[in-house]
Amino acid sequence: MGLMGKGAPPARATRALDLLRIVVALLILIHGVYRLTMGGVAPFGVWLESLGFPFGYGWALAVTLYEIAGPVLMLARRWTSLAALGHAAILSLGLVLVHLPFGWFVVGAGRNGVEYSVLLIAALLAIAWAWWPQRAGPAG
């Protein structure tokens, strides 16, 4: 059995990863749809330009559209690893630019910190790893 204990049964682990993929994709999708439908793209672009990003509106629109298209791909199990890695990169940048100055905690001992971003990034990396294409073994 080892120090870490028994692993999850493969069928249950597969279902658990499916559940994680679906929940994370829906969380990100809701974020993008809300920003697009509630007029949040332009203010996001202005904020990016205030940080020194050129073409802030273009970047804001690109991120928002990725937050819509990427989760749809993840839900359909198409290019899941690439979609998850792209979201992990976007969230990592957001972690540094938005949440890191507020510390660790999202609620309780602080506000707007990095802990939720870290959780989502870890989930996205696990999804990317689980759905990464396997190489065919040697013939024979």
Considering the entire predicted model, what is its pTM?
0.91
Measured torsion, CA atoms of residues 58, 59, 64, 65, in degrees rounded to the nearest 10: 60
From CA 103, how far away is CA 108, in angstroms rounded? 12
Q: Is 139 helix (H, G, I), strand (E, B) or coil?
A: coil
pLDDT, tens digit, 9 for 90 and up, residues 81-98: 999 999 999 999 999 999
Q: Do residues 70 and 121 touch, judged by C-beta distance below 8 A?
A: no
In this predicted structure, the answer to whether residue 139 has a pLDDT above a threshold of 80 is no
For the cut 80, the answer to whether the pLDDT of residue 10 exceeds it is: yes
Quick one: pLDDT at residue 95?
97
CA dihedral of 112, 51, 45, 125, whole degrees rounded to 10: -50
Q: Smallest Cα–Cα separation from 83: which of 42, 35, 132, 118?
A: 132
Helices marked H in the chain = 10-37, 41-50, 56-75, 80-94, 115-130
Checking if the pLDDT of 140 tops 50, the result is no
In this predicted structure, the answer to whether residue 115 has a pLDDT above a threshold of 70 is: yes
